[in-house]
Amino acid sequence: MIYLDYSATTPISYDVLDSYNKASREFMGNPNSIHSLGVKSKVLLNSATRQICDLLNIQENELIYTSGATEANNMAIKGVAFSYANKGKHIIVSKLEHPSIYKICEYLESLGYEISYVNNDREGLVDFEDLRNKIREDTILVSICAVNSEVGIRQPLKTLKQIIKKENPNTIFHSDITQAIGKVAVNLYDVDMASMSGHKIFGPKGIGFLYKKDNVKMIPLIHGSGKFGDLRGGTPPLPLIVALSKAIRIALTDLEKREEHVALLNEKICKDLEKYGDIVLNKTKYSIPHILNISLLNIKPETFIHAMEEDEVYISTNTACSSGDLSSSVMAIYEDKKRATSTIRISLSYVTTNEEVSKFLNLFKTEYKNLTGFLVNEK
């Protein structure tokens, strides 16, 4: 099998699974119980949390475990919207967000909030001037993803924060860092809130977190009891938390070296695909190498994906989570419907090998020829 859909999800790493199993077997007590089994679990919970916070340079009271990025995005945006409704009901997002962000915005619009969509340039970079102009006295939140999930556009969080705070120091800056963490460096100092999912970084499915700066107020979505009761009630899923902590530690190791490796693989694929007359690369200077989006102008993307699947090669259309046929990110960047309705996402990881890429390119060529009847055109 050649798996090239790492941005949709990753397999859990054996080391992470070992931690999960050990915590499940040996720490069965509820961390909220006061007896020795509970205390033992609580000690482990605190140490896993401490490790995550040390790795990310944040405080323990700034970390809220969630089931993943969708929940963290909901918690951040709705939580802030409801908390600050008396200050304003205006929220700004980019045109390159994950569908979960847009769904939340639609819901908030139905409750009377106003959502503005900040423009981006042809390279996918958020238009700073437009952002400046859109921030108002009543803008309570700006949410811009660190790395876009379809085209891999990376936004400069530090600059965005400076712009936002200069225009309105009370506006909160949230970033969905799900596609950034473990791929490129992310500094949480550059944002007020951030969401992620563990399964994108070889962690287990069903755990993620929301980072929230201490001074940001947020009404909880899930009310309940226990240590985490204030912001997300319920018994902490200790094995998942321990596994997440391990996954984050592994994900942040050798980040630069791993990125260089992925960049070489990306270049190799691009060089090869550039030879095809009817394929365009949806790649800009801000795309991270882990996410390569292309448009197949002559074949339906689903047909091609299923053909590749016959060879046990796994790639995806725009994202696993998008519902329609149109890639909203490709549309937002290139404003070309044909291009946006024919996208394929090839997503790479530091574990992807050169050999896998060579095999992938050969199979790609065969299936492309089978489906189009064309030999590879030299452009």
Q: Which residues are catalytic?
A: 321
- Cβ 146 to ligand PMP, closest distance in Å? 8
Rank residues 92 and 291 by Cβ distance to ligand PMP and give the closer one. 291
- Cβ 108 to ligand PMP, closest distance in Å? 17
**172 - beta bridge partners?**
141
**316 - beta bridge partners?**
345
Q: What are phi and psi of 16, to 5 degrees?
A: -65, -40
| Residue from the set 250, 252, 321, 361 that interacts with ligand PMP by CB under 6 A | 321
| Residue from the set 179, 266, 327, 343 that interacts with ligand PMP by CB under 6 A | 179
Class of residue 323 by CB neighbours under 10 A (exposed 0-12, middle 13-18, buried 19+) = exposed
| Residue from the set 149, 175, 341, 352 that interacts with ligand PMP by CB under 6 A | 149
* Residue 145 sits in the site that holds ligand PMP (CB under 6 A): yes
Contact residues for 183 (Cβ-Cβ < 8 A; gap 6+)? 147, 255, 259, 262, 288, 290
* Residue 152 sits in the site that holds ligand PMP (CB under 6 A): no
Rank residues 27 and 209 by Cβ distance to ligand PMP and give the closer one. 209
* Residue 293 sits in the site that holds ligand PMP (CB under 6 A): no
* Residue 316 sits in the site that holds ligand PMP (CB under 6 A): no
Rank residues 98 and 154 by Cβ distance to ligand PMP and give the closer one. 98
User: How many residues in the shown chain lie near ligand PMP by CB under 6 A?
Assistant: 15
Rank residues 19 and 179 by Cβ distance to ligand PMP and give the closer one. 179
- Cβ 363 to ligand PMP, closest distance in Å? 25
Rank residues 316 and 342 by Cβ distance to ligand PMP and give the closer one. 316
- Cβ 369 to ligand PMP, closest distance in Å? 31
Take residue 56 and report the two structure tokens written for it.
């990310």
Rank residues 41 and 317 by Cβ distance to ligand PMP and give the closer one. 317
Q: Are strands 63-66 and 343-347 parallel, antiparallel or unpaired?
A: unpaired
Tell which positions 60-79 bind ligand PMP, by CB under 6 A.
68-70
Whether the Cβ atoms of residue 342 and residue 296 lie closer than 8 Å to each other:
yes
* Residue 98 sits in the site that holds ligand PMP (CB under 6 A): yes
* Residue 120 sits in the site that holds ligand PMP (CB under 6 A): no
Q: Considering only the stretches 23-31, 55-63, 256-264, 318-326, report the one whose residues sit in contact with ligand PMP under the rule CB under 6 A.
A: 318-326
| Residue from the set 19, 197, 295, 329 that interacts with ligand PMP by CB under 6 A | 197
Take residue 139 and report the two structure tokens written for it.
């803008």
| Residue from the set 178, 245, 317, 342 that interacts with ligand PMP by CB under 6 A | 178
- Cβ 150 to ligand PMP, closest distance in Å? 9
| Residue from the set 176, 192, 272, 367 that interacts with ligand PMP by CB under 6 A | 176
- Cβ 66 to ligand PMP, closest distance in Å? 8
- Cβ 237 to ligand PMP, closest distance in Å? 15
| Residue from the set 100, 155, 342, 343 that interacts with ligand PMP by CB under 6 A | 100
Q: How far apart are CA 376 and CA 25, in angstroms?
A: 55
Interacting residue ranges for ligand PMP, rule: CB under 6 A: 68-70, 98, 100, 145, 149, 176, 178-179, 197, 199, 319-321
